[in-house]
Structure 1
Amino acid sequence: MLTSLLKIAWRNIIRSKGFSFINIMGLAIGMASSMLIIMWIYSEVTYEDFHENKDRIYEAWNRASFSGKLQCWNTTPKILARTVEKDLPEVEQAVRVDWTSHFLFSVGDKRITEAGNIVDSNFLQVFTFPLLRGEPQTVLREHNSIVLTRSFSQTLFGNQDPVGQTVKIDNNQDFTVTGILAELPKNTRFEFDYLVPWSYKRSIGDDDSYWGNNSTRTYVELKPNASLASANEKMKVLKPRYQPEDSTWEMFLYPMGKWRLYSSFTDGQEDGGGRIAYVRWFGVIALFILLIACINFMNLSTARSERRAKEVGIRKVVGARKQGLISQFIGESILMSVIAGILALILVTLSLPGFNRLTDKTLQIDYSNPYFWMLFLGFVLFTGLLAGSYPAFFLSSFQPLKALKGVITNVNTLVTPRKMLVILQFTFGIILMICTIIVRQQINYAQQRETGYNKNNLIYHHFTGDIPKNYRLIKSELLSSGAASSVAITSAPITQSWSDGWGQEWEGKDPNDKTDFYRYNEEEDLGETVGLTFVQGRDFDLSQYPTDSTAMIINETALKVMKFDNPIGQIVKDNGEEWHIVGVIKDFILTSPYQPTSPMLIYGAKSWFYTLLIKLNHDRSTAENLKTAEGIFKKYNPEYPFDYQFVDEEYAQKFANEKRTGTLAGLFSALAILISCLGLFGLATYMAESRIKEIGIRKVLGASVVGLTSLLTKDFLKLVIVSFLLAAPLAWWAMHHWLQSYPYHTPIRWEVFVMTGLLSALIAVMTVGFQAIKAALTNPVGSIKNE
């Protein structure tokens, strides 16, 4: 029975090669697109999924009120890990992870700067990254031990056995390699090429007992069956207990399963933002594309109904039952779905390298995994059943006598469901088009937002090696050589904030004010180097004003918070130090271009520095400037590479995530429209077949080709107009909701809807035009001779 059904199905596929090709390719493109999106979604929802105790691992977060709003962040005091192990009976162990370090590694003649983390010795017991050499319990036990990734160990030692080898870090500390890690998977938040034990920080005098400095990430593993609610109740009181001045400050544990997707908070609560919004969005796109492909299949199948009506009539006359006919037609759709699935798998395999580059992932198909083949088969069968169900029931419902005469059913009962399917197709497609355009507009809106400084020809270089003691000499030679027009010594790049706090005092401050200020340090010349605009006062100038070492510059937002009528000369106290305001600058974007500008305080030379900001000389070539600068850095910091970054390139990275999202949305929207056009082509084919006699009569009565083409095309324009009227409000609602997550966002412009509507109409006319013209040119004699 099954063999017979397959043979009949195969004959019908072969008999209509053109129809079958379009049908199979439409399904294949839709299935391939959905599979790529599903793979992307799977990679997102399985972040950190490889850790053995993932369900018991949490990150410590803070929640406190600033400027009347609850804010949440995930940097904590260094002492927190040991405190929760002592005070919370629910805790199995806790581990600290410090900021990423960039150490200089020396092995023989090799000098390599690489990024890694300083962590507690139990890090690899909590986070079970696979160790190729060494034991998790012991590899980080000694303060001078170090664990390397396999690729970094090969960079340092080549094919030698690295375990037991010695590396020198920053030219002053020998470390012994005690373990080798496999390469880190892409689906983890951690990025490091080496791990150094926390005891190393203690050996060089680092203080980790202060509760007032939130500078470390703390991770907690709860005991089996421990209550998270109970642990969080105890977490709430830790900060007030050990630092009473922070009596309203709470801490809480945030589960690992939410780190990647849900770490977005508004007024102290999860707001549904974060990457989960992208996962949901692309999940909807995958569903839309698959539905569009299946609807396309339905339309093309029912477009052939008149050709298959006599076949159905004959089968019913000779005794075929409706159930058997349904099985036959569904069998055909499943067979086509299997062929389309194989093609889709080929398309996915060929597309993966480019897709991975686009999404910054390493997705791959494990063909040896039986679960993959089970899921793939289920996906193919589901698609075949979904696509073939309506055609199967529709075709099997023909009455035998009418079918043998070619009268298959009443036109209205046939056309209405099929037109509804096309409307549904184009509604999905137009929604995707509108949303994609608005996403692109939002990215452009943020990119075009005034930064408040000049990014061009601006680079930065962190302090390494001998730079802290030689930076004034480096600055002097950069200027005298002509490589730079201005140089500033700062605490961080101009695109980042490394410090913030709320404990400042000034005259007239409200006792309940807990505004959080960004802290930024500079020696002098920051305004000239990056092009800041001073609305009051001046920049620091130590040569003319030696007291500028304790001076302060504030931005306009900070001035609004402090409410000074005349800010110049006002005193701000911070951590027992007094700073006098000498200037007010126009707000500039320090962190996210999608967020409002935060109040900012720039402290003078009596503070710490870590970065040189260098304005390259625009009168010389960039290559020449960099070559000169490299020679100067090598002169004063010979053991370290000249490791600089362009500020404009780093600023552009702030848009990378949204750009990838916009590009992906545009790509899949185009594919959805392509498949929708195949559906229109199917309906146009049906139209040409069902109205061929009407067209012939009209031609005999004198109708022109242009008139007939217009007559046939306007029906499809009506469908597109209905689709647009349905899609426009739905797209507006979705994009309005999405844009609300950005304090700075583009307005939704009416031009987007006009452009999308016109484009949709143009696509529809171009798609059906061929069939309409072909039908209008048909010889009327042949079409009406049987009347």
Structure 2
Amino acid sequence: MLRNYFKIAWRNLIRNKSFSFLNIAGLSIGIAAAALILLWINFELGFDQFHQNKDRIYEVYNKYETEGKISCWNSTPKIMAKMIRQDFPEVESVVRTGWSYNFLFSSGEKRIKSTGTVVDKDFLDVFSFPLIKGNPETVFKEVNSVVITEKLAKKLFENENPLDKVVKIDDSDHFTVTGVLKDLPSNTTFDFEYLIPWSYLKQKGWEDEYWGNNSIFTYVMLKDGVSNASFAPKIKNLREKYDKESPRMETFLYPFSRSYLYSRFENGEESGGRIEIIRIFGFIAAFILLIACINFMNLSTARSEKRAKEVGVRKVVGAEKKYIIGQFLGESVFISFFAAVIALIIILIVLPLFNNLIERQLSIDFTNPWFWITGIGIILFTGVLAGSYPALYLSAFKPVVVLKGTFKKINTLITPRKVLVVVQFTFAIILIISTVVIRQQLKKAQNRQLGYSKDNLIYTFIEGEIEKNYPLIKEELLSSGIATSITKTSAPITECWSNSWGFEWKGKPENDRTTIDRFIADEAIIKTTGLELIQGRDFNLSDYPTDSTAVILNESAVNLMKFKNPLGQIIKDNGTDWHVVGVIKDFVMRSPFESVKPMVIEGAKAWFEVIHIKLSDLKSTSENLAAAEKVFKKYNPEYPFNFRFVDSEYAKKFNNEKRTGKLAGLFTMLTIIISCLGLFGLASYMAENRIKEIGIRKVLGASVSNITALLSAEFIKLVAIAFVIASPIAWYSMNKWLNNYAYQVKISWLFFAAAGILAILIALITVSFQAIKAAIANPVKSLKTE
């Protein structure tokens, strides 16, 4: 019997080639699109899930209430780890990591810049980054030990054994390689090529016991059997005991395994994060697969007349309903399997392009049994879902009615087929509107006034001999015409590396804990970066030596401090009195989607990490960069001249939104293609069924345009109904998404009008092809059998 069913299924596929093609194409595209999304979702959900102790690892967070709002953040003071070890026997291990350090590694003639960090000695006991060489118990025993990854070992030593090799770091300290780590997996939040023991910070004098310096990350691994719920009340008041400056600040532990997906907080409570994007695309995958199944249902039931007599004959000769249902479900699963094979080929072809789009390295592991289990599950699910309605619909035909040819319902107002078309286009229109809103939000942020000029502006980090030779470097760059202006700063103009609520000024409310961004520059910061001056002047140490303790405020800081005449006002920070010499317009340093925070730009008495250079426009950029490289190599010969364009770094701030927009656009297009395949098939079948009606109308004088309008009208009505249903759903969803951004686009009715017109045009073009083809056919051919 099964063999007979397969024969019938195959013959039906061959006999109805066009409908078979549309069915298989729609299912293949749907399965391929859903599978790509599921691959990405599986990758995202796997972030930091490979650590053996993941259920016991927590990240230390702070919680503080100010102005009626509770803020949470995960940067902590260095001293906190020591106090946790000392006070809480429930804790098995406490480890810290610092910010990334981009050190220069030297081995023989090789000079390689690499990114890494400092860690406590138990780091590899807490986190499962396996060593392929070295003893995990002793790799961080000595101060000048370094653990490197396979990738860095290959760069430095090629095929030699790296253990016990000596490397020079930053042209100053010599380190011995004590271990080699397996390269980090791509689905981890950590990003390093080397690890240096925490004791190195002590040796360099970079460690402090100041509770107000929240500058590193602290992780806790609780002992077996200790729950976070029972431990939370004990660690809550840690700062009240030790931090006399911020006694009301609370400490809490947050599960490390949730950090990547959920670590966004609003008013002290977890409020989602990246998981929201994953959920959205999970729904998109489900709906794309559903739309592909709807195509199958529609096309199968549209061909019901041709299969009805077959069903009637089977019932007359004694076939039971359950066997007929089984036959049609079997045919559907067979087609689903065929479509899945084609979908797999599509995935293998497009996966590299998809990886480039999402900036991930996804792959299919054919050796993983879960791949085959999931694949078979998708095939069965798709086959049963797609074939369920046609099977029930066809098996319900009454033999007597079918064989008399009177089973068809004429001019039914609502049919399941119409409902399914509406569902298809409802989802397609929701995606179209969402894509338009995402693109407009991105465009609005990209067109936002920055408040500074990023053209011809580069920056490089201060390293090696640069600090010592800075006056000579600056003089030569300016005198040779390479640059028009240069300034030293504490951070790139596109990033905020420091902030504080400890600033003091006249009239500050006693309980004010507003965080103020801190930026530092020596002189000509306004000239170099093109900041817009409102009052006062730029830093000028030559004419005003006291500018080393001067500050420039942005508008938001002036408004916060309620200064009517800000020039000359005194602001206290870190025990120093700073006097205001200028006010600038707010400029975008953090996210372009967020509002600008109050900022204080302090003078040269503070610290510097970066040099900003405004290149001359009298020569080409390539000429200027080549000349600048010679200058830096002259005064800093051991280091390569690494620079970054400010406009390129600023553009990176849009990466997540660009990626989301591209993904939304891609899957919107696929949804439309799948929907149009189904619509094309339905229009084709409709034209075929009404061929004699069309012939009669033509004989009676109907024009091609009349017939085309007649055949298209029903589908346009369905798309219009879908638009009415989709619009409020899309409006609600996009409003909720936009609430994540302080700087957001307003949802205009034009977005909906554009989406509606586009959907109707797509449907009209799809249907009209078949309608026009039927309308221009020779009526003699369609009527000659009468």
Would the TM-score normalized by the shorter structure come out above 0.5? Answer: yes
User: Is 2:96–2:120's contact at 8 Å kept on the other side of the alignment?
Assistant: yes
TM-score, normalized by length of structure 1? 0.98
465-474 vs 698-707, greater mean Cα deviation: 698-707
> Aligned partners of 1:107, 1:250: CA distance in 2, in Å?
46
2:21 paired residue number: 21
694-703 vs 365-374, greater mean Cα deviation: 694-703
> Aligned partners of 1:608, 1:66: CA distance in 2, in Å?
29
User: Is 2:528–2:613's contact at 8 Å kept on the other side of the alignment?
Assistant: yes
2:92 paired residue number: 92
2:150 paired residue number: 150
Q: Deviation per CA, 1:588-607: give whole Å up to 9, x if none.
A: 01111111100001111111
Q: Deviation per CA, 1:23-65: give whole Å up to 9, x if none.
A: 1111000000000001111111110011001111111111113
Q: Residues 164-175 of structure 1: matches in 2 within 5 Å?
A: 164-175=164-175
Secondary structure, aligned partner of 2:634: helix
2:229 paired residue number: 229
Q: Residues 179-578 of structure 1: matches in 2 within 5 Å?
A: 179-272=179-272, 274-412=273-411, 416-578=415-577
The amino acid across from 1:680 in the alignment is L
Q: Deviation per CA, 1:571-602: give whole Å up to 9, x if none.
A: 11112211111111110011111111000011
1:779 Cα deviation from its structure 2 partner: 4.7
> Aligned partners of 1:659, 1:765: CA distance in 2, in Å?
31
Q: Deviation per CA, 1:238-283: give whole Å up to 9, x if none.
A: 11211122122112111122211111122222223x2112101111
> Aligned partners of 1:478, 1:785: CA distance in 2, in Å?
90
Q: Deviation per CA, 1:280-313: give whole Å up to 9, x if none.
A: 1111111111111000111111121112222222
TM-score, normalized by length of structure 2? 0.98
Q: Residues 24-35 of structure 1: matches in 2 within 5 Å?
A: 24-35=24-35
**Percent same amino acid among aligned pairs?**
57
Runs (4+) of structure 1 exceeding 6 A deviation are: none
165-174 vs 690-699, greater mean Cα deviation: 690-699
Q: Residues 602-613 of structure 1: matches in 2 within 5 Å?
A: 602-613=601-612
The amino acid across from 2:238 in the alignment is L
Alignment RMSD (CA, Å)? 1.5
Q: Deviation per CA, 1:451-492: give whole Å up to 9, x if none.
A: 100000000011101111111221111111111000011111
The amino acid across from 2:754 in the alignment is M
The amino acid across from 1:52 in the alignment is Q
User: Is 1:88–1:231's contact at 8 Å kept on the other side of the alignment?
Assistant: no
User: Is 1:58–1:254's contact at 8 Å kept on the other side of the alignment?
Assistant: yes
Q: Deviation per CA, 1:412-463: give whole Å up to 9, x if none.
A: 5596110110000000101001101110111111111111000000000111
Secondary structure, aligned partner of 2:452: coil
Q: Deviation per CA, 1:730-756: give whole Å up to 9, x if none.
A: 101100111011000011111111111
User: Is 1:53–1:126's contact at 8 Å kept on the other side of the alignment?
Assistant: yes
The amino acid across from 1:252 in the alignment is F
Q: Deviation per CA, 1:107-144: give whole Å up to 9, x if none.
A: 01111111111111111111111211123222122111
1:743 paired residue number: 742
User: Is 1:78–1:208's contact at 8 Å kept on the other side of the alignment?
Assistant: yes
User: Is 1:552–1:604's contact at 8 Å kept on the other side of the alignment?
Assistant: yes
The amino acid across from 1:147 in the alignment is V
> Aligned partners of 2:128, 2:282: CA distance in 1, in Å?
30
> Aligned partners of 1:537, 1:69: CA distance in 2, in Å?
35
Secondary structure, aligned partner of 1:246: coil
The amino acid across from 1:423 in the alignment is V
> Aligned partners of 2:475, 2:64: CA distance in 1, in Å?
44
2:632 paired residue number: 633
Structure 1 gap ranges (5+): none
User: Is 2:595–2:743's contact at 8 Å kept on the other side of the alignment?
Assistant: yes
1:207 Cα deviation from its structure 2 partner: 2.5
Secondary structure, aligned partner of 2:493: coil
User: Is 1:94–1:219's contact at 8 Å kept on the other side of the alignment?
Assistant: yes
User: Is 1:148–1:177's contact at 8 Å kept on the other side of the alignment?
Assistant: yes
The amino acid across from 2:322 in the alignment is Q
> Aligned partners of 1:7, 1:79: CA distance in 2, in Å?
75
User: Is 1:60–1:254's contact at 8 Å kept on the other side of the alignment?
Assistant: yes
The amino acid across from 2:470 in the alignment is Y
Structure 2 gap ranges (5+): none
User: Is 2:552–2:602's contact at 8 Å kept on the other side of the alignment?
Assistant: yes
The amino acid across from 1:204 in the alignment is K
- CA spacing shift, 1:415–1:726, aligned 2, 3 Å: closer
User: Is 1:310–1:405's contact at 8 Å kept on the other side of the alignment?
Assistant: no
Secondary structure, aligned partner of 1:452: coil
1:697 Cα deviation from its structure 2 partner: 3.5
The amino acid across from 1:205 in the alignment is G
Q: Residues 28-67 of structure 1: matches in 2 within 5 Å?
A: 28-67=28-67
The amino acid across from 1:450 in the alignment is Q
- Check if 1:721 corresponds to 2:720: yes
User: Is 1:124–1:137's contact at 8 Å kept on the other side of the alignment?
Assistant: no
2:76 paired residue number: 76
2:106 paired residue number: 106
- Check if 1:712 corresponds to 2:707: no
1:636 Cα deviation from its structure 2 partner: 1.1
1:186 Cα deviation from its structure 2 partner: 1.0
- Check if 1:580 corresponds to 2:564: no
User: Is 2:695–2:779's contact at 8 Å kept on the other side of the alignment?
Assistant: yes
User: Is 2:212–2:245's contact at 8 Å kept on the other side of the alignment?
Assistant: no
Secondary structure, aligned partner of 2:340: helix
2:691 paired residue number: 692
1:11 paired residue number: 11
